[in-house]
Homo-oligomer: A and B are copies of this chain.
């Protein structure tokens, strides 16, 4: 169900022929109201795809009636002609739905630097709008996939309101492995400023703590649409909790399906002086190619963890650092601790715990191992 689990939403996913594989590639999510509250969080990359530029603009008033999404082409680095393509797609979709183009967000994912085949895309939109229904969430989630091996969907509910979500990609808002697109829906009654705050808070502690390969997409988009169709208004913290839980669920699915990965690595930084320090350390470790290769080879190479921590400005003393891998404290006081042979790295889940002994803050950043599968997928992506 995902995005159509909350009352007031229809969705569809269809084959438009944008992907050479012939798999579904165009989706719509329609909010039938009564409310049209919406919020969005976008990539921080300064090179932004045409659909990101468009969706930012139309979201300025905190209102959306629908989203049209396509895989098979990112429409990024396509210049003014690419922006005109996004505009045309929005106008076309809005006309079919009887709404204004300014009430509709556009999301695209796929190759950068290539124009979209507009006739195929618009014909696909015709089909998707015609098919949009309360049972279309699964098809929509399928249609936004690129290198994803499974579609990502989640639903949370409490106190009479429901939150649903779908996602594609395998990473995050700032750095990302492939473009991350996320649509979260709810039937709660909520105003635009609150929706904006709740979505930003949810992203900060979920998608923004996944860093699969340190790369930042030109197209990352997370949208929240609220229909108000439940007629129920819950406390902001309650709705925020549901939105965060939905995003956390989807973020977990993204990292579990990252390109070529064989490990899901949870890097927990503890004893940090503050959130900024903890995040900087977590990300530095998450981006260490040498460590990610070692973990792929089931090698608990904690020296590479310390070398990555040492590149940060966080508060810590090198000879006070402790590191545990899968529960074994292999490094104590910056020197060897328990025997590394005790570490069992056979499974997919890897936990790395780094104690900075510099404060009371703890948080977790998620990443993946670096594998020949990743190299293969990303060297063959466009050829």
B382 contacts A299, CB within 8 Å?
yes
Q: A213-B289, A336-B114 are in contact. Are A307 and B378 (CB under 8 A)?
A: no
Residues of B within 8 A of A296 (CB): 375, 379
CA distance A304 to B216 in the complex (A): 9
Enumerate chain B residues within 8 angstroms of A214, measured Cβ to Cβ. Answer: 287, 289
Q: Enumerate A284-316 residues with CB–CB distance to B below 8 Å.
A: 287-290, 293-294, 296-299, 301-304, 306-312, 316
A82: CB under 8 A from chain B?
Answer: yes
A235 in the interface (beta carbon within 8 A): no
Complex contacts, A218 vs chain B, CB 8 Å: 303, 306-307, 310
- B378 with A294: CB separation less than 8 A: yes
**Contact indicator A297/B379 (Cβ below 8 Å):** yes
Are A336 and B78 also in contact (CB < 8 A) when A215-B308, A293-B374 are?
yes
Residues of B with C-beta under 8 A to A321: 47
Bound-state Cα–Cα, A367 to B29, Å: 43
The answer to whether B47 and A306 touch across the interface, beta carbons within 8 angstroms, is yes
Q: How large is the interface on A (under 10, 10 to 19, 20 to 34, 35 or more residues)?
A: 35 or more
Kindly state the separation between the CA atoms of A299 and B301 in the bound complex, as whole angstroms: 32
Smallest Cβ-Cβ distance to A298: which chain B residue: B383
| A359–B138 alpha-carbon span in the complex (Å) | 50
Evaluate whether A45 and B379 lie within 8 angstroms (CB atoms) in the complex, with A303-B77, A334-B79 already known.
no
The residues of B that contact A150 with a CB separation of less than 8 Å are: none
Task: From known contacts A77-B336, A336-B77, infer whether A307 and B217 are also in contact, taking CB-CB under 8 Å.
Answer: yes
Contact B299 A46 (CB under 8 A): no
Chain B contacts for A376, CB-based, 8 A: 372
Binary flags per residue of A33-68, CB closer than 8 Å to B gives 1, else 0: 000000000001111100000000000000000000
- Verify if A237 is at the interface (C-beta below 8 Å from B): no
| Shortest CB distance A210–B (Å) | 15
**A318 on the interface (CB 8 Å rule)?**
yes
Which 9 A-B residue pairs are closest in the complex by CB-CB distance? A112-B303, A297-B379, A79-B335, A47-B310, A293-B378, A372-B372, A113-B303, A45-B310, A46-B310
What would 5 more interface pairs be, CB under 8 Å, given A77-B302, A79-B335, A297-B381?
A80-B335, A113-B335, A289-B289, A293-B374, A294-B379
Sample (9) of A-B pairs whose CB atoms are under 8 Å apart: A45-B307, A47-B321, A77-B302, A115-B336, A214-B287, A215-B288, A218-B303, A289-B370, A299-B383
Binding site for B on A (CB under 8 A): 44-48, 74, 76-82, 111-115, 177, 213-218, 287-290, 293-294, 296-299, 301-304, 306-312, 316, 318-319, 321, 331, 333-336, 370-372, 374-383
